[in-house]
Amino acid sequence: MNQPFVLALLRNPRQIGAVVPSGQSLARAMALAAKPSGKRILEIGPGTGAITKALLAEGASREKLCLLERDDRLAAYLTGKFPGIRVINGDARSTADLIQPESGSYFDVVISSLPLLNVKEADKIIILEQIFSLLNQQGVLVQYTYSAKAPISSSLANRFGVKGERTAMVFRNLPPASVWKYSYPSNYNFHN
């Protein structure tokens, strides 16, 4: 097993939220849902970089990819593993402050590996506020979960004005996972 992942898991199992790193099948399903070619992408909780690698394989640009990793050792590992990709060491609850996008240059895609169903409701709301504040109007949040239920409740999705759809079930992952995509409806008044 991947040594940086095991060490991070031992330091803080609740923060990691998984017993093994994302498998190749899940990473590819996340990348396919993101359709990364030519898009500005923020990946939150990249861990050891399995999804990052899949995003690059599907055409993501290193210059348009930004990784936000809370664990300082994993952030250092990612910096060495993916030269030319911006890696920020920080907490998802402060995403907007840490990223500070240039005026008008919001993200097209946010990829999240956060264990949202394990996060306290108040923290989950803060994290989602941060994520949706950084997405452009056509932007999408791609999130996976090991649960049979959606990673974002319908009441929270309504609160943020987004619609969720399951885009993949990945049975060849340990444990099996589902990939969800959240986006604003085409008639959503983004400037409210």
Q: What percent of the chain has pLDDT over 90?
A: 76
pTM score of the predicted model = 0.86
> Domains of the chain by range and CATH?
3-183 (3.40.50.150)
3-state secondary structure at position 104: coil
Report residue 63's pLDDT band, with 50, 70 and 90 as the boundaries. Answer: very high
Tell me the pLDDT of the chain averaged across its residues.
Answer: 87
Task: Over range 50-67, report the average pLDDT.
Answer: 97
Q: What pLDDT shows up at residue 7?
A: 47
**Buried-exposed string 35-74: b where 16+ CB fall within 10 A, e elsewhere:** bbeebbbbbbbbbbbbbbbbbbebebbeebbbbbbbbeeb
Report residue 169's pLDDT band, with 50, 70 and 90 as the boundaries. Answer: very high
Task: Over range 144-160, report the average pLDDT.
Answer: 95
Q: Write out pLDDT tens, residues 2-30.
A: 455 444 445 455 444 444 456 899 999 99
Residue 85 pLDDT exceeds 60: yes
Q: What pLDDT shows up at residue 8?
A: 46
Contact 89, 123 (CB under 8 A): no
Report the DSSP pairing between strands 177-183 and 135-145: antiparallel
